[in-house]
Amino acid sequence: MEMLRAAGLKKYYITDTYEVHALDGVSFSIEAREFVAVIGTSGSGKTTLLNMLGGLDTPTEGGVWIRGNSLRDMEPEERTVFRRRNIGFVFQQYNLVPVINVYENLVLPLRLDGAEIDETLLEEITGLLGIREELGRLPDTLSGGQQQRVAIARALLTKPAILLADEPTGSLDSATSMDVVGLLKSCAARFHQTVIVVTHQEEVAQMADRIIRLEDGRIAGQEG
């Protein structure tokens, strides 16, 4: 079953002297429960693409459909609610709130949405990610790998249909990177989620079911 479709995505930025084609006609579809890596060098359009897929930005042309719902056709407030309830984000810089403990960071998105906290699921996810004993700690007392696990757990707790990860291992050493991606993949399989990971690391991309390669805002090839 198709979970996500991007059709003719273009994103152009106009400066004083020239026009930047961050995305220049990108089209593909992703099936439910697929684990996909988008790989490319800096400036290839990876993060711009992820922002389009997650509804954080709107394309110059083209569109994104999630479960048949067009993100572009939604009003801004409607898109925000849809994104919060269907898409989970994991960022390179973790985006944890430093003044509240790990538990409060995990449940913050649910509280903002007025949703019930599934304590059983929270216990299961934190156990799977190896952070159950860290719930009372502040984020800056954790290692980078632990903070990234908290960010993954926070995204999983909202039970998103799609998980988008932007360079989730960019700040981690090689061994920790493999651990984090392995955990991300196993969690996605356990909770039946579709995952798209943006990376510049070939070894991370090779752990995916399929690889989409970007160059200069265009798809240069697909594998898997």
Q: By the 8 A CB rule, do 87 and 52 touch?
A: no
Find the DSSP H helices in 3-101: 46-53, 76-86
Tokens standing for 86?
Answer: 């269907």
User: What gap in Å lies between CA 168 and CA 129, rounded to an integer?
Assistant: 15
What pLDDT does 178 receive? 84
Query: Domains in the chain and their CATH numbers?
Result: 2-65+74-223 (3.40.50.300)
Q: What does the CA dihedral 155, 157, 159, 160 come to, rounded to 10 degrees?
A: -10
N residues, the chain: 224
| DSSP E strand boundaries for 67-188 | 69-70, 87-91, 162-166
Secondary structure element (H or E) that encloses residue 11, with its range: strand 2-14
What pLDDT does 163 receive? 93
Residue labelled with tokens 């003044």: 99
Intervals of the chain under pLDDT 70: none
What pLDDT does 65 receive? 97
CA angle 38, 86, 122 (to 5 degrees): 100
